[in-house]
Structure 1
Amino acid sequence: MKKKQIGGLIIAAVLFIAVGVSSVLTNAVSERMLESSVETLLTGNYTFNAPLSDYIAVVRVEGTIQEQTSTGALDSGYQHTTTLEYIDRLMEDSNNKGILLYVDSPGGTVYESEELYLKLKEYKETTDRPVWDYMAHYAASGGYMVSMAADRIYANPNTVTGSIGVIMSGYDLTGLYEKLGIRYVSITSGENKDSSQLTDEQIAIYQTQVDEYYNKFVGIVSEGRSMSEDDVKALADGRTYTAKQAQENGLIDEISLYEDMKDAMSKELGTDEFYELETPVSVWSSLFAKAEEIVPKSEAQILTETAEEMESGVPMYYAEQLQ
């Protein structure tokens, strides 16, 4: 066999082996990337990949402030546990120079609203770094409460804010159950254990709880806005305010567009680098939501979901929106 033929065979063999090895490695890497993507999608392992130089962190509070029941990317809206963990990471990062709190929320549960407020306070006390707040469409009730941790509050000209108050609501479905032939039965250890049909005594009991949460809310606003509690209570009858009204009443500091507010914060803190927590792609969330809309629901499902949407005695810092 000629030397050229032998050389050609050797080169072909080497190329064959190289292509095979490359294919195996490529498949392994691809599978690992796919596994990682699926894991991120399902478990919501958000990536903290902040800049290695000075930056301002954007913390978004969008949607109802409530318990995070899972950490998957298939969940949309505000992610409570993820947000708290994000703020913890920011406290540990010396490159972080402050937080821009972006609020677009009508509020939410008492528990989670106050927990987020306290976490932001902890961030300020631990790091001595500022928190600036920007209100978008809504920053009402619990959305306004979390803003009280901010050093400066900016609002869009069309923001709806305020709604300083507490609501505890639910449905009395006994009339509907009777029409459907459903009999509700409860065996309790005390006359106030069952609240399916509220008595005057039970209403008075729940009112004391609402009043307690309300007074706490007033105290937080009083501290955050350097106002007396009497002045806060004069504004805190549950009503919402436009940005202009809120500024006139001392509930916010400035009316501004978002980019203008970012420019002001950049100049104040000496950096134009802004960082947001990197989240998994949410396209699958939209697809599953569309699929869920197509599937017809039974009457029982509709009744159950309606009752859950209206809550069932859970105290809320929440502003009900006109449809």
Structure 2
Amino acid sequence: MKLKNANKGTVIFTIVIILTLASGTFSLVKGRGAGSSSNDAKPKAEFKATEKKQGSFIKALEKNTRTKSPKGSYIARIEITGTITDAGDTYNQKWILETIKELKEDKNNKGIILSILSPGGGLYEADETYLSLMDYKKCTSRPIYTYCKNLCASGGYYIACSSDYIMANRNSLVGSIGVICGQFVDISELMEKHGIKMKTIHSGRNKIMGAVNEPLTKEQEMIMQSICDEGYDSFVEVVSNGRGLTKEQVVELADGRIYTAKQSMENRLIDSIGSMEDLEDAMKRKAFDFEDYEVIDYSYTKPENLYNIFMGAAKQFSRSSFGNALLPKAVEDRLENRIEFPAYYCDLFN
């Protein structure tokens, strides 16, 4: 019965997506108009209007960098949103590193504001972004200020520690200083109970540590803990250097928990509480002696292709009450790939 319902849900889901894509494609073609020239400005305007109507299903195929070109000296406000990973829907490692490099080489750029809304992410990516920002400061002597939005945790806070000044919204959650380094599941007893046998041919007793058919040995647990501790020590050092705290003070705070904005300020994890406008005023006052600069927004949007359009439509459908009731769990799991909790993790196996 369950299998039958799952198959039915998959069929309905497929039909809905096909209809959605067909509708979007038809509107896109109609918006371009018959006999339109690629050099004509009118079809482009029509395409933009169609794009607006289609919402997240049809988007222009263009690289998203900044909202507008600066007319003179400016401050770059970089949005760091979502899970910090190599290539996600809202965060892209290559894009952010290239953006920081371009700003470093641009003499009209006078500083960076980091606007962070992130639960954290990969240890490697967070550290790479942090080092790139520190290089920016070293080479240019320009300031970096950070604004913490709803959540600035783990890898997000790690990146924030590159800044000269951190301000959080009064409802922000900040911190989660700690590292996750592998989650292992041992189903060997369950397999044995049901007569399931699995054999992996390998050399080196720790080559397949973490395999589901073998218990984690004490030695393997110690190996993984040593890797985790090394990442933790790096995190503690970054916070210590960035916030002017001793390592002992950081360790006392760094048990993995998140802090409210008020608690963060009391523990010197941030400098003040306020709005984005307050941060801009503070930067203008503290870093530029009240000199006013234009603020240009930089944010990453994943370039659209047929696969991304399909997955975007599928995600929206799955989040609706209709889609949520019909879709098999396997399909939902495939659509959703996100960290639900503040996590700074060492991804060794993917």
TM-score by length of 2: 0.69
Kept in 2, the 8 Å contact 1:157–1:256? The answer is yes
Do structure 1's residue 51 and structure 2's residue 41 form an aligned pair?
no
- Counting only pairs closer than 5 Å after superposition, residues 14-93 of structure 1 correspond to structure 2 as 27-30=37-40, 45-47=63-65, 49-68=68-87, 76-93=89-106
Q: Distance in 1 between matches of 2:264 and 2:129?
A: 22
Q: Distance in 1 between matches of 2:157 and 2:136?
A: 18
Do structure 1's residue 165 and structure 2's residue 178 form an aligned pair?
yes
Call closer, same or farther: CA 1:281–1:231 in 2, change over 3 Å: closer
Shift of 1:303: 7.8
Kept in 1, the 8 Å contact 2:95–2:300? The answer is no
Shift of 1:203: 0.6
Indicate the residue corresponding to 2:294 in structure 1. Answer: 273
Call closer, same or farther: CA 1:56–1:144 in 2, change over 3 Å: same
- Counting only pairs closer than 5 Å after superposition, residues 148-227 of structure 1 correspond to structure 2 as 148-172=161-185, 174=187, 178=191, 183-194=197-208, 195-196=210-211, 197-227=215-245
Kept in 2, the 8 Å contact 1:54–1:271? The answer is no
Q: Which runs of 5+ in 1 are unaligned?
A: 1-22, 69-74, 319-323
Kept in 2, the 8 Å contact 1:104–1:136? The answer is yes
Q: Percent identity?
A: 35
Indicate the residue corresponding to 1:290 in structure 2. Answer: 316
Indicate the residue corresponding to 1:16 in structure 2. Answer: none
TM-score by length of 1: 0.75
Aligned pairs, number: 284
Q: Which runs of 5+ in 2 are unaligned?
A: 1-32, 52-57
Secondary structure class of the residue paired with 1:234? helix
Secondary structure class of the residue paired with 1:64? coil
Q: Distance in 2 between matches of 1:54 and 1:151?
A: 20
Q: Aligned match of 2:115 in 102, 117, 128?
A: 102
Query: Which has more radius of gyration?
Result: 1
Indicate the residue corresponding to 1:10 in structure 2. Answer: none
Q: Distance in 1 between matches of 2:297 and 2:280?
A: 13
Kept in 1, the 8 Å contact 2:178–2:344? The answer is no
**Residues 55-90 of structure 1 deviation map (CA, whole Å, 9 limit, x = unaligned):** 11011111111112xxxxxx6222221111111111
Call closer, same or farther: CA 1:231–1:50 in 2, change over 3 Å: same
**Residues 134-159 of structure 1 deviation map (CA, whole Å, 9 limit, x = unaligned):** 11111111111101100001011111
Indicate the residue corresponding to 2:8 in structure 1. Answer: none
Call closer, same or farther: CA 1:60–1:280 in 2, change over 3 Å: closer
The alignment's C-alpha RMSD in Å is: 3.7
Q: Aligned match of 1:246 in 264, 287, 292?
A: 264
Q: What letter is aligned with 1:154?
A: M
Q: What letter is aligned with 1:230?
A: E
**Residues 133-184 of structure 1 deviation map (CA, whole Å, 9 limit, x = unaligned):** 1111111111111011000010111111111111123241626973888654
